[in-house]
Structure formats: C-alpha cells, structure tokens
Amino acid sequence: MAFRAGVRPLRATPGASDTFGLGCAPIGNLYRAVAEADAEATVAAALAHGIRFFDTAPHYGAGASELRLGRGLAGVDRDTVSIATKVGRRIVDAEGAAVPAGGVGTATVGDLSADGVLRSVDGSLRRLGTDRIDLLYLHDPADVDEPLRGALLLDRTAESGLLPAAAERGVGVIAAGVYNSGILADPEGSPYFDYREAAPELRDRAVALRGLCRSRGVQLSHAAARYPLQHAAVDAVVVGARTPEEVAAIAAAERAPIPDDLWAELEAV
C-alpha cells in the first residue's frame, strides 16, 4: 500500500513516508485554539519525520488551517510535498458575508455551485501560497449517504459498500478520521465520535479495544491508524495532529510492530 503516483510529490525525498500523511484540521483550532507558532512547529515536525502529504480544507478553522499550513511550508520545495484540500464550503464572516478570496473567517456554509467551487479553489491557493493543489475533494456533500463518511473499527459501514466499489473501479482510498474524532486515540481523555461526545456504549467498546491492544503490547492509537491499511482498497492514511509531539506519535504508529493475529482478535470485539 502507498500513495498513488498521482498524489505523490513530484520529487521523492529519501526516507519519506509512503503511507502516512498529516491531517491539518487540528491546527485549524479543532476543539481548542492552537497558537500560530505551535501550528507551524507541527508542520515542521511532520516534515522532519518524513511526512510529505498534507490534508487540509477551507472548513478547518474557516481558512486558518490552510493559511497555517501554507506558512509552515513556506520555503519548502513545492515539488517535494503533496497538498490535498477540499471544496464545498464557503468561508463567511460573523455577519454571514463571504470573506475576500484568500481570507479567514469565522464559519463556513455549504456551496457546491460551479462558481462556488472555483472561488473556493482560488481562495485555497492564496491561503496556501501555492500554484497548484495535488488532490481536491468534495467536502462531505449533503447528498451523499451518511455511511459513506464513516470511519473503521467503531464505524465500519464503508467496508460493505464503499471500499469494495472503490477496489472494483480502481479508485484509491485515503483513510482519514481513523480515530473518529478522538475516541480511538484516547477513549476517556478524548471521548468524541463523529465530532460529538460519544455515547457510553461506544466508549465501553473503545475501552475494550484498548484493553485487548494493551494485552498484546500495542497502543490502541497505533492499531487504529494502521487498521484501514488491512483493506486492499486503502492506499494510505491521514492522521491529524496539533503539536510536534502528536506528529511523533503518528510516525511511531507507522513503524510500530503489530502482531498479524491481533486484527482477528479485534474483529471479535
């Protein structure tokens, strides 16, 4: 498994990760504010750990994530990194008015019109300080069935429909949200599922998964990050981070030894 040629950097970097990218929602102040210096340090740490694929969106911090990622990559050879961002959300200010192209606002609203998509791309290019985007997603369009946006382990609905269809058509899948908002990273310290507080039964299941992983000498977060790569349709994984320490944990997850039979044991839970 690896990022497909079309989304890899034009120029390879020795030692760069082939399967892990950095999710940049956290540096857009997801759940809590992140200082500008900390955001840039997080991007720098990702580069230092060999991460060359960065996933952001106008929706993350109403433009703040893209702007901070752009600042973090300033001076980096553009051909050595790949950037993914999204369309489908228009950035607005506190009064609901669209912000100028390249600006940062306070919220976003849905907009998948042709003009809205073009304006979104223009704004992203300006905030990122780049002349191209390597991968452009539709950001959670409302007319796509909710299960297609699910993650794996606790929400595995993609396994029965989306992933087989992608494999059949030769469409690569990059798995994001592998901790599903936090519960599979820290079931008690970050008990969020689908961007809201997790129900007690989901917390209990996550705690049980963590216990099983611990009994085999594996961290739950490492298993969660690697689990999607067990499916043939999944090419790579994107994991969010807001600090250099969290980036280091992502790098550790990619390298951590995980017994092959643990996956079957997790299935049973």
Assigned token pair, 30: 């997801």
- Helix or strand or coil: residue 171? coil
Q: Which long-range contacts (CB under 8 A, 24 or more apart) does 259-262 make?
A: 259/216, 259/218, 262/212, 262/213, 262/216, 262/218, 262/223
Helix (H) or strand (E) holding 107: strand 107-110
The number of helices, as runs of H, and strands, as runs of E, in the chain is: 8, 10
Give the whole-angstrom CA distance, residue 238 versus residue 59.
17
Amino acid letter for position 68: R
60 is catalytic: yes
Cβ atoms of residues 40 and 72 within 8 Å: yes
Give the whole-angstrom CA distance, residue 130 versus residue 71.
11
Q: Which of 31, 60, 137, 195 is catalytic?
A: 60
* Residue 214: CB atoms within 10 Å: 11
Cβ atoms of residues 17 and 46 within 8 Å: no
Give the whole-angstrom CA distance, residue 75 versus residue 47.
12
How far is it between the farthest Cα atoms of the chain?
54
Strands 82-87 and 135-138: parallel
**Which of the residues are catalytic?**
60
